[in-house]
Structure 1
Amino acid sequence: MTQISSPSPAVHAEPEHPGRGAVISEFPLVTRSLAEAAGSFLLVLAGLGVTILNTQTGVQPTLAFGLALIGANVAFGYVSGGHFNPAVTLGSAAAGKTAWASVLPYIVAQVMGGLAAAVFIWLLLSANQQFAGSVQALFAVSANGYAENSPTQFALSSAFLAEVVGTAIFVAVVLGATSRTATGVLRNAGGPFAIGLVYAALLTFLLPITNGSLNPARSTAAAIFSEGWAVEQLWLFWVAPVLGAAIAGLIYRSTDLFGGRKHAAPQDTAAPQEDTTETEIDAPTAADRYPAGHTRTGETGNDGNVDRPAGTDEARTFFDESDERRHGQ
């Protein structure tokens, strides 16, 4: 009997995107980029808006950023993967989860979405006589800085280190929460909440150090309409998040901590006897079971040997032979 073993399930190396996996491959790059712009607009509008306009209400700006990120992921994440942050996009590309061809369009869309939100806030403030003369000062409240522009006077080195480590942790959470090995509940429902809440927590930690960035698009949006020092110090809030994201992405790629490929590898090298998915392609003939010339009564093949139905196993053949012998055959 000729048998062929079915191949073990292949371990696909296709890129995986934060938020919804292969679903986003159904959308063209332009659509995904627009989704990134829309999510970034929502994130910056809510975060900066609460920071600038709601200083008397007691609403924590970091919570507003976190809730906005949850909403953006739920609303647009299934289209683009839910980055809304150049650091997340670069970290995802370094991890092998996002194609490098998508990186530049994503980053441009994120920055433009954040700037559009800042322009909208600027228009609102400028149209109000109470704020018309202090728009730059209001934006400075939400801008990121270090040294004398740090809320509590943290030095450049401390601010840089805090942003690098904070971004690395945040990107690691994004990569883990959207991994293929994460449970369906975590990826589809809990993922956005985990990402948004961790983002809010890390921003709360960074608030007294740098005013909380972790997102170059958010920092750029605030700096453009702020005072001159914010633009001068903007470089740190691009370099530090990018470095932190690269660290997280490269660690993910080198260890495959969340990807699950190392757990799947043994399936490709499993011993043949452990493969239970065998397919019979030739019906067994009598010659496969009986020596040539061994004639028996009953239904025979061309060679005079008893032929048995396809799929007869060894145990059944043995007992069939015993029955025949007892009947004097």
Structure 2
Amino acid sequence: MSESLTRRGLAEVFGTFWLVFGGCGSAIFAAKQIARDTDHGLTFEVGIGYLGVALAFGLTVVTMAYAVGHISGGHFNPAVTLGAVIGGRLSARDLPVYWVSQVVGGLIAGTALWVIAKGQPGFTAEGNMAANGFGDHSPGKYGVGAVLLAEIILTGFFIIVILGSTDTRAPKGFGPLAIGLSLTLIHLISIPISNTSVNPARSTGVAFFNGDGAPGQLWLFWLAPLIGAAIGGVIYPLLFENGKLKIKTD
């Protein structure tokens, strides 16, 4: 493996770690908190909620895209890498290194979150590690078909935003903002549906610590984002770029 590809792989490890640690961490630690007014015997539910979690995911992408995007392209997501390959932005030869780096970064983040969360007395990891799911494991109890369709559509549009905002014709320097805001919007739409994946590395990073059916449902959160990424990776160059696919292999 070349020195350049090694650096890009490390950038993807760090970026994916930050995405999973920041996004899932906000859901685990800050989304819902209980405050008590002991003087009046009142209990209040406080926390950042869905909006805060959505912003946290978007901010992780914005910050790391500016930090290491110039090294690796700032994918932090196997679906984004697939979309970049199909869209002609990355050589297919580099895809395995990106995927391994992203999954490793996600798993390291999941491990760190699990260790920190276990430091709270009474914390139970099962069902409380911000895993994705469908059916009984969906926040809104959405079925497998609904979750599959939502993840495909949202990932497809995410890839189109990424390819469009990083096109040479796009305004310079604003790509990370557009991508981060897009991911925020995606979470605002789909946290109630699936807890939002659109990223197999994010789903894998916490699934095995969460348990509670999440590992058995992980297949959907690889399949749907990759299908969506392939669709987005085909649509952008065909409709908005050069009108043809050009997958690089060198």
If the TM-score is normalised by the length of the shorter chain, which range does it land in? 0.7 to 0.9
C-alpha separation between the residues in 1 aligned to 2:143 and 2:193?
Answer: 9
**Per-residue displacement from partner, 1:45-71 (whole Å, max 9, x unpaired)?**
001111001122532211110011100
Mapping of residues 132-211 of structure 1, within 5 Å: 134-139=124-129, 142-184=130-172, 188=173, 190-211=174-195
CA distance in 2, matches of 1:259, 1:97: 13
Q: Read off the aligned partner of 1:197 and give its amino acid letter.
A: L
Q: Distance in 1 between matches of 2:137 and 2:127?
A: 13
Partner of 1:236: 220
Structure 1 counterpart of 2:195, which letter? N
Q: Is the 8 A contact 1:175 1:258 kept in 2?
A: no
Which residue of the other structure, out of 86, 98, 104, is the alignment partner of 1:94? 86
Name the stretch that deviates more: 193-202 or 56-65. 56-65
Cα distance change on mapping 1:123 and 1:49 into 2, 3 Å: same
Assess if the C-alpha contact under 8 Å between 2:151 and 2:228 holds in 1.
Answer: yes
Q: Distance in 2 between the 1:224 and 1:126 partners? A: 15
Aligned to 1:110: 102
Tell me which of 203, 220, 223 is aligned to 1:219: 203
1:76 is matched with 68
Q: Does structure 1 retain, via aligned residues, the 8 Å contact 2:126–2:212?
A: no
1:252 aligns with: 236
CA deviations 1:30-89 (Å, max 9, x no partner) are: 000100110000110001111001122532211110011100101010100010000000
Structure with more relative contact order (C-alpha pairs < 8 Å, separation 6 or more) = 2
Query: Aligned AA for 1:34?
Result: L
What's the CA shift string for 1:71-114, capped at 9, x where partnerless? Answer: 01010101000100000000010111100011110011011001
Any gaps of 5 or more consecutive residues in structure 1? 1-25, 262-329
**What's the CA shift string for 1:107-161, capped at 9, x where partnerless?**
1101100110111111112233342xx122321xx11111121111111111100
Aligned length: 227
Cα separation, partners in 2 of 1:64 and 1:177, compared to 1, 3 Å: same
* Corresponding letter in the other structure for 1:193: L
Secondary structure class of the residue paired with 1:135 = coil
Offset of 1:215 from its aligned partner?
0.5
Q: Is the 8 A contact 1:94 1:253 kept in 2?
A: no
After superposition, the Cα gap between the structure-2 partners of 1:201 and 1:35, relative to the gap in structure 1 and judged at 3 Å, is: same
Quote how far apart the aligned CAs of 1:180 are: 1.2
**Residue deviations 1:264-287, cap 9 Å, x none?**
xxxxxxxxxxxxxxxxxxxxxxxx
Aligned mates of 1:125, 1:205 — CA distance in 2: 27
Question: For the residues of structure 2 that align with 1:258 and 1:197, how far apart are their CA atoms?
Answer: 23
Distance in 1 (CA, whole Å) between partners of 2:181 and 2:234 is: 24
Report deviation, 1:166.
Answer: 0.3
TM-score, with normalisation over the residues of structure 1? 0.66
Assess if the C-alpha contact under 8 Å between 2:54 and 2:188 holds in 1: yes
Alpha carbons 2:128, 2:210 under 8 Å: kept:
yes
Q: Is the 8 A contact 1:90 1:246 kept in 2?
A: yes
The residue aligned with 1:308 is none
Rg (Cα) greater in structure: 1
The residue type paired with residue 127 of structure 1 is: G
Select between 109-118 and 144-153 the one with higher mean Cα deviation. Answer: 144-153
- Asked whether 1:35 is paired with 2:32, we answer no
Indicate conservation of the 8 Å contact 2:22/2:56, yes or no. yes
Q: Percent identity?
A: 41
**Aligned amino acid, residue 155 of structure 1:** G
| Alignment pair present for 1:58 and 2:42 | no
Corresponding residue of 1:8: none
Q: Per-residue deviation at 1:27? A: 6.9
Paired letter, 1:41: F
Give structure 1 regions of 4+ aligned residues with deviation exceeding 4 angstroms.
none
